[in-house]
Every structure is written in C-alpha cells, then in structure tokens.
Structure 1
C-alpha cells in the first residue's frame, strides 16, 4: 500500500470511552471515526473498507476544494475583484458541461496532503498556535497536513498554500456523574494563503463527511443503515434556492412549513416528510459565527503570540449553543457542531448505488468493492460546513458572516469546525426494530 493510503492514526491516550481517527493523506480523508462506549465500538462515518476504495467512492469523508459544492462554468472567465486586486477565473466542468463540482475534475479530494511531522516548516499557524498544537503531537492526538495548489490548478488563479489541523480534544468533565457523557471532540482548522502577490482566488473548503450513528449496530437493529430515524437540528431559517443543475439562483427560501424545517417535525426524525429526491441543500445559519474566529486574517495582524486555536483545542471549548445537532436514540450517540462558516450542506447520500463501491465490515458489509452490498440512498447524513454556493456571485445569500468566498493576497483563510461527541446509554426499547 502506498504511503498516501496509509492512515495517520490519532487517538486520545489512556481514555475510556475512546475516540480515535484514521486520516488518509490522499484527499485528507477521515477514513474511520471510532467511538467506544458502553462496551460497543462504533465507526461513525460511512465508506469503503480498503483505503484505496476512496479512489472510486468519490467525496466520501474527503476534503473538497479549492471550492466546495457547485459553480457555474461560462464561456467567458469570471472577473474577481477584492482589496483593489483583480484576477480571472475559469471553473472546469466535471459534473456536467455547465457545472464544476467540488473544485473540478482533479480537486483536493484527489490530492495527497503531506503530514507535517516537524512543525517548524508549518507557515500558517503562529508560534503560539504551534506551541499549543505541539502538545497534541506529543500525545498522538493531532496532526497538521499541507498541500500546495499551483496557479492555474483546475482553472483557479494564484499559487495556494493550504495547511489543515486535524485534532482530537479530550472530554469535558467527569465521566461518571453525568447522564450524558462528553466523549471528546474532533476539531478541523483549515488555513490557506496565496503565495503570489496581487492575486484574488475563490476558496471554500470543507470536509465532505457522511455520518451514520447506528450503522455499527447491524447485529441489533435490522435497519441500522438508514439515517431516517436520526434526529437532526439545523439552526437555519433559510435554504438557498437551486436551479435544475443544483446551482444557486441567488435567492433565499424560508424553511418554515417545509420538509427543511427539521425542528418542526413532530417525530423529530429526519425521515418525516422525507422528499422523494432526498436532501442536497445548503442551509444558511441564523446564528452569528464566533467573533473570536474570523474567516479572513490579515497577514499584517498576525504575530508570534496570536492564537485562534487555543479555545478550539480545550475541553472548555465545548459548544453551549451548537448550530447543528444530529442524534440517535438507538445508539445513544449525539454529535454537536460549531463553526465560523455561514451554513451547512446537508446531503442524504442520494446518488449512491449499493451495487457499486464497498461497505465497511463494521457496518455489515463484505468490504469488497462491487460485491453488491455497499451503501444505499439515505444511509448517511453528510454535513458539510462551508460558505454559500458561489457567494461572490450572490451577495444576498452570503449569510451573517458576509463572506464572499474570495481570498486576496495578504490574507489568511481561516475556517474551523468542531464536532463534540456525546453518549447516553440507550434503553431496551430504543434498540427494538
């Protein structure tokens, strides 16, 4: 197996219940997210058994970029302007002749990120931040990965340096006195900077990860592969209107009274009012992102003592008012999310084909590609935290952060998502089919 498909294993030492990650350098892929609780081991993300399976099971827990989701392709290039700078941009089509998906034909999901074992070569995290990250390195629960995207890559202007911190955070509070236990958190911090002067480029990074909190209970729950019994809360009053190609029209649509109003559902379950085509929509948050976590940082304002990661990498950083919550009574697991991005794309694995690809053995699959027992529609909730689709084209949809998804020379892109994992032992009735 090539080193690009050998997982980097991250875990919190001497911790029971346990949380651990397997991260593949190729596509910065979250290959496994292990949770051990109540005598059971869960893998919370869907995907192939073999790391090489991600070559064909596209966008399964990988990073996507330079630009997440869909952009229009046009005969004439886009003119990008910011901070008195300008560049031209020609997205490359891949989903259809008029649509560029997730960065183009060879996006970041196909690129090999380099694990930075020596933090001295890391450029986009400050000296103070590297000192804080160093502790995570020493106990094996954090790693920074880097990539250089050359100017012209998939039509994007400017040579771009990307550095991504993937880290685990130990749980908050005693583990014996709370009815619901905090098992720890996963933190991802995306940083990027243009290495060319006087350039503007679009950027919108995210993790395209798909969650199923019940799939590892295949021996106890016959329909454990479905996420329709999961409860989902998204703090959003609007989705973005899409045209027939899945591109943003630039208009906002209210969720109230629709199947997108997940909090209004009497059962609280995703499956109530399930649309025929499933879910693949962007929800604009109505909650302001943390003021302490800007999405753009001026390089002139950064100093050796600056830190934006300290609050994210501490147990005290757990969310009090998360923007997204997904939970299952059957497994007793609950995930809460916070971010400085303006919204989340919720995709219910609509385009998957169970006759293709492979399903993990822990989820009841054979692990063999093309065996006919892969994942079907509705088997995962993909929750992709990023800014609205084509935000520089559609100012109305930019959300509370007003992020236009453009990065200019002299700025550092800063995007984080923190996912806290919670567990409450389910009762016998919760496990009944």
Structure 2
C-alpha cells in the first residue's frame, strides 16, 4: 500500500480516475489533504482511498461526511455516484446533510418526547414540535476525530466522537466509532457503527448519502431500477411521525419486491405517495433482526452500474431526492434538481422509543451497539 499526505500531490491511480479511467493497480492508496477550516477555526481534512480495482472513496472529518464514491461503468469509465458539495463552507451551510453520519437519533421522535425505563426524556423540539436527526446540533455538524488504517483485506478510517450526557437532550455519555472500510480487491464500501453508553439511552445512526449511479450531476434517475426486499412500510401521520402501524406494501407504490423504477411510480397517482408525489418512506426488510443480509439491488441502465446493499439494520428510509430545488450547486458545478439522486438510509424505525412493538433502539451500559451496512458496486 502507498500512503501520502499532501496539499497538492495525487497518486497515479487518482490521476487516472480524474481523467475518467478506472485504474486497477497492484497497490491500494490512502491520500490525505487539507479540505478547509470551519467557521469556528477547526481544520478539516479529506481522505481519499483507492483500492486495487480503481474504486475511489473520499470523505472529510466534518460530519464524518462521504464526499465522493468513484466507480466504473460498463465501459470502464469512472464517475462519482454520490452527490456532494464543492467546499467545506457549502457543507457547513447546507440543510441536506450530504453523506454525513446522523445521530444521536436518525429520524423523527414524536412530540420530542419518549419514555425509557420509566423516565420521561424531553428533547429539543423543532418548529413542528418533534425531534429529528439530533437537531439543532446533530453529529453531521461536528468535526470528528479520525485515524486511518490499512490491513490485509481493506483500507479506511475510524472516526470517533464523544457525545456527553445531556447532549441533544439525550441521557448517557455516548462513545461512538464509525469505520469507513474500502475492500482492497472488491468494489465494496463497509460502514461499521459502534457505540457504548454509561446510562440507558436510545440510539439510531445512519448515513445521509444521496446516490445517482449515472453520475452525480446528471438527470438520470429515470434509468434506475430498484429492487428492495421489504414487505411492509411504516404508517405515518401528517407530520410523518409513525403511528405504530406497519402495513403491507402489496398493491401500493412502495412495493419494490420485484423491481421497479421510481420515476414511473411518481408519475402515477398514488395515495401512499401523497401530492405532490415523492418517496420518503420507511420500509421494513424481510430478514431476521440483526442479521446482515442483502436488502436491495439498484441497477442503472444508462451506465450499467449496479449497487447491492446489505445491512444488519431492520429498515430503511428511501428518499427520491425531493428536497433538491436548483439552489445548491454540487461538486461538479451543476445545480441539483428535484429527483437528481436517491437516499437509502439504513436504520431502525423512526419514533421507535414510543412504540414497544418496533425493534428496540434502547442502549444500556455493558451492551455495545453495533451496526453494519455495505455498498457493493459492479456492472451488468
């Protein structure tokens, strides 16, 4: 393996990727560069990993944010398939949480209140009276500590963060580790989450990345086909807070068990998608609790790229890039428009602390939290 830390130099593999070539190599590489300084004066670095097959993965310390994933298409041409922003200032000002780690609790908690072990916990409410994504001081807004590593099978980085007792209103001091691991000989990213607490609390972590397998900055979601192994979806109220119901996807626009396109579904009137139609729904996977299993395959007919997702999480928030409105330019210099990407946020169910029949998100001292999600890229 080769490793560099430089303001300007890039390894040969990165040069080829910049030219649009997937560059298989006998060596994997780790490059670290200064990305910027936050408004509060914290230096932020960007790490770029390149494996032996030419896949490149980039991320920054701010929010433990993935900024780019470059993989080849069916003709061997590499492109970035994750939507991202051009500067640290853009990441600090965005409300879209591009590629960042979300916590302490991803998703909504109704009335910003829950009860655990007989204790009522009140969280900071937003304008709608609920809690979401750890706002207003989510983990996506913090500079994480990082150390890089290389082993026989992979290269990557471990991000660490301590969330003190009372942070975001949650009880318990939480020690977090998030590992980004790129396999050397296979185009696969593994995200590994770990946490421990000194007092009973709840936790729900995810990555808030948006993908476009034709390449970030292209208007090509119509060429994507999604197959998701989920037979139920989470029923929500007008504020999109779960009611406690888990309904069958059969006969609805949320049924992707045999594969379907998102744009064709959005073009059809469907009560479950609302008006205007969009996807921002919790789907419950058909697998054992805690089992690491493949849950989705996404194919892009335009590029021939395929992404297979496996996770130990029980559900996903599947979002069709509804919030993009042309006001935010991506790293490619192109303004992102509505449905220019999709999110596949593996996690536990929203509002789980208020629904005893949902998979538990409780975390107690002496029992560590662990979660794994993998993204494997290939062509067809």
Please indicate the TM-score interval, normalised by the length of the shorter structure.
0.7 to 0.9
For 1:411 and 1:389, the matched residues in 2 are separated by 22
1:328 aligns with 2:321: no
Q: Write out aligned runs for 1:33-432 (5 A).
A: 33-37=69-73, 38-58=75-95, 59-74=97-112, 78-81=114-117, 87-94=119-126, 96-117=127-148, 134-135=150-151, 141-171=155-185, 183-194=186-197, 196=198, 199-215=199-215, 224-264=218-258, 268-274=260-266, 275=273, 276-289=276-289, 291=291, 322-354=294-326, 356-361=327-332, 366=333, 373-396=334-357, 398=358, 403-424=359-380
State the 1:39 CA deviation.
4.0
Contact 1:327 1:335 in 2 (8 A): yes
The alpha-carbon deviation at position 395 of structure 1 amounts to 2.9
> Which structure would you say has the larger RCO, counting Cα contacts within 8 Å and 6 or more residues apart?
1
In structure 2, list runs of 5 or more residues that go unmatched. 1-35, 267-272
SS in 2 for 1:253: strand
Q: Report Cα offsets for 1:251-302 as digits up to 9, x if no partner.
A: 012111111112356xx322222143310000001122565x6xxxxxxxxx
CA contact (8 A) 2:115 2:354 kept: no
- How far off its partner does 1:140 sit? 7.7
SS at match of 2:222: coil
8 Å contact 1:88–1:157 — kept in the other structure? Answer: no
Between the aligned partners of 1:140 and 1:238, the Cα distance in structure 2 is 35
Helix, strand or coil at the partner of 1:411: coil
Give deviations 1:397-424, integer Å, cap 9, x for gaps. x2xxxx3111011111001101111113
Secondary structure, counterpart of 1:410 in structure 2: coil
Q: Look up the match of 2:57.
A: 21
| 1:324 positional shift | 1.0
- Of the candidates 10, 24, 30, which is equivalent to residue 66 of structure 2? 30
CA distance change for structure 1 residues 415 and 378 in 2, over 3 Å: closer, same or farther? same
SS of residue matched to 2:188: strand
Shift of 1:134: 4.8
**Contact 2:115–2:353 (8 Å) recurs in 1:** no
Cα separation, partners in 2 of 1:340 and 1:39, compared to 1, 3 Å: closer
Q: TM-score, normalised by structure 2?
A: 0.82
Q: Residues 111 and 411 from structure 1, CA distance in 2 versus in 1: closer, same or farther, beyond 3 angstroms?
A: same
C-alpha separation between the residues in 1 aligned to 2:295 and 2:364?
Answer: 28
> 1:326-379: CA deviations, max 9, x gaps?
11011110100111110111011112221x221222xxxx2xxxxxx5211111
Distance in 1 of aligned mates of 2:196 and 2:131: 22
Name the TM-score, length of structure 1 as normaliser.
0.72
Counterpart selection for 1:10 from 25, 43, 49: 49
1:141-176 Cα shifts (integer Å, max 9, x gaps): 2111100011111101111100111100134xxxxx
Q: In 2, Cα distance between the equivalents of 1:422 and 1:252? A: 33
Displacement of 1:4: 4.5
Task: Provide the alpha-carbon RMSD of the alignment.
Answer: 2.1
Give the superposition deviation at 1:9: 1.6
Cα distance change of structure 1 residues 240 and 4 upon mapping to structure 2, 3 Å threshold: farther
What are the ranges of 5 or more consecutive residues in structure 1 without an aligned counterpart? Answer: 118-132, 172-182, 219-223, 294-320, 367-372, 425-433
Q: Which of the pair is proportionally richer in strand?
A: 2
Q: Distance in 2 between matches of 1:272 and 1:4?
A: 44
**TM-aligned CA distance change 1:338 to 1:211, over 3 Å:** same
Distance in 1 (CA, whole Å) between partners of 2:89 and 2:69 is 17
Tell me the distance in 1 between the aligned counterparts of 2:76 and 2:294: 28
C-alpha separation between the residues in 1 aligned to 2:302 and 2:63?
A: 32
SS in 2 for 1:73: helix
SS at the partner of 1:141?
strand
